[in-house]
Structure 1
Amino acid sequence: MSIYKIDKKITKIKGKITTKKLVMIGMFGAISTILMLFEFPIPFTPTFVKMDLSELPIILGGFMMGPLAGFLIIVIKIGLHLVLKGTTTMGVGELANMIGSATYMLPAVLLYRKLKTRSSVALALILGTIVTSVGSIFENMYLIFPVYSKLYGMPIKAIIAMGTTTNPYVTNMFTLMCFSLFPFNLVKYSVVSIITFVAFKKLGFVRRNLIK
């Protein structure tokens, strides 16, 4: 690829991300980081699975500024969280959080920005919730839990046992996904979606006057 073509692509990206948007992205990323610090457990999930509302600024930023902005907010959130709190999972928990945030934000934002109607906001949020809740089953079963087990030298059976202590329906990896992780994500992203739906209507002034 020639230097001219590379420079042209960089210029195109800069044109999409204005200084005003960069400030908003940084602000949303900082808010998302703060929200990520306030995590709490859900009764039917293993103790190492915590809920937070850090996806709220991500989805709002994505709706207002596009999927690239939403992804940058995710990167800022994870980066600042690692700086402020570090990691207790050798980065596996942060990877899971990043994938979850992206699989929620991307389909929702792409659908909304294609339709851009009032009803499409609710439809986009429902789509994002379903995609990330179902996707979490495969993400955790085939990537996150195996990597975590290997890095820590912890047998998968030990992880399943942790799920069984809080949810008697968990007896193997599949039931851990179906009766613990899936409902957890469904609850988490449904709550985020409801708050987003209300907040997005209230942020009409910001959308009209700050983000163009």
Structure 2
Amino acid sequence: MSVSPSRTKFRARARALTVTAMLSAISFVLMFLDFPVPFMPSFVQMDISELPALLAAFSLGPVYGVMVCLIKNLIHLLITSTAGAGELCNFLLGASFMLPAGLIYKLRKSRGGAILGALVGAVVMALVSIPLNYFITYPVYVVAYGMPLDVIIGMYQAIRPGVNGLLECLITFNAPFTLVKGLLDAVLCFLIYKPLSPLLHGRV
């Protein structure tokens, strides 16, 4: 007995949503497994929570990668909020990574396409981090947590005394940090994508 195209499409969509939910949960957990890095102030932590979203973007498409970023931050907003600014910026940064990475791989489904997509996505995310942090994250933190901007800049100057002003700090520190974060997610994705491919594509 043949299966109708509509039922096949429904099953594929249901599987994709199930995988998306699973990856969103993993991504949320990974947000809490953060760690400091020596070239950044202590309040900036490294994590690999975009890794599940990148797996979704490559296996299911860019929209599903963005969905993982959205669901992860919505859960985080409900449980432990950073005045909403952290979640908003985290989502926008993740989306700016997943969209180009997933779109490039969708148009060029090869290892080279995946590498190019991940590189472009990481660069875009790093560039987007500058205006997002300058206009949203840091102004909200200053108001919500009462941390003077001079104190924040002073933490950057403790690492590199020559930097002056928030914008220069973001260009000198945060953009490279975000790029490294994206590249780390990409490397880990390439290491585990093939073993996880049957599960991601519903072949188990």
- Range into which the TM-score falls when normalised by the shorter chain: 0.7 to 0.9
Give 3-state SS (helix, strand or coil) of 1:18's partner: helix
1:31 aligns with 2:26: yes
Amino acid at match of 2:99: L
Give 3-state SS (helix, strand or coil) of 1:203's partner: helix
Superposition pairs of residues 136-175 of structure 1, within 5 angstroms: 136-175=129-168
Paired residues in the alignment total 197
Superposition pairs of residues 103-122 of structure 1, within 5 angstroms: 103-122=96-115
1:54 is matched with which residue?
49
Shift of 1:153: 4.5
Distance in 2 between residues matched to 1:208 and 1:69, nearest whole Å: 13
Shift of 1:71: 1.9
The percent identity for this pair of structures is: 36
Range with greater deviation from structure 2 (54-63 or 162-171): 162-171
1:78 aligns with 2:73: yes
1:21 is matched with which residue?
16
- Residues 59 and 201 in structure 2, CA contact (< 8 A), matched pair in contact too: no
Question: Against the structure 1 CA distance between its residues 181 and 169, is the aligned structure 2 distance closer, same or farther, given a 3 Å change threshold?
Answer: farther
Distance in 2 between residues matched to 1:107 and 1:189, nearest whole Å: 12
Q: Deviations over 1:115-147 (max 9, x none)?
A: 112210100000011111122112212332223
- Residues 63 and 99 in structure 2, CA contact (< 8 A), matched pair in contact too: no
Shift of 1:207: 4.8
Amino acid at match of 2:157: T
Q: Deviations over 1:25-80 (max 9, x none)?
A: 11000110111110111112122211100000001011111122112211221122
Shift of 1:23: 1.1
Question: Against the structure 1 CA distance between its residues 189 and 16, is the aligned structure 2 distance closer, same or farther, given a 3 Å change threshold?
Answer: farther
Distance in 2 between residues matched to 1:16 and 1:157, nearest whole Å: 55
Shift of 1:24: 0.6
Distance in 1 between residues matched to 2:77 and 2:159, nearest whole Å: 28
Distance in 2 between residues matched to 1:68 and 1:133, nearest whole Å: 20
Distance in 2 between residues matched to 1:124 and 1:116, nearest whole Å: 10
1:90 aligns with 2:86: no
Range with greater deviation from structure 2 (159-168 or 28-37): 159-168
Amino acid at match of 1:82: L
- Residues 130 and 171 in structure 2, CA contact (< 8 A), matched pair in contact too: yes
- Residues 153 and 166 in structure 2, CA contact (< 8 A), matched pair in contact too: yes
- Residues 169 and 179 in structure 1, CA contact (< 8 A), matched pair in contact too: no
TM-score (norm. length: structure 1): 0.83
Uncovered stretches (5+) of structure 2, i.e. residues with no partner = 1-8
- Residues 107 and 128 in structure 1, CA contact (< 8 A), matched pair in contact too: yes
Question: Against the structure 1 CA distance between its residues 169 and 194, is the aligned structure 2 distance closer, same or farther, given a 3 Å change threshold?
Answer: farther
Distance in 2 between residues matched to 1:50 and 1:17, nearest whole Å: 37
- Residues 112 and 121 in structure 1, CA contact (< 8 A), matched pair in contact too: yes
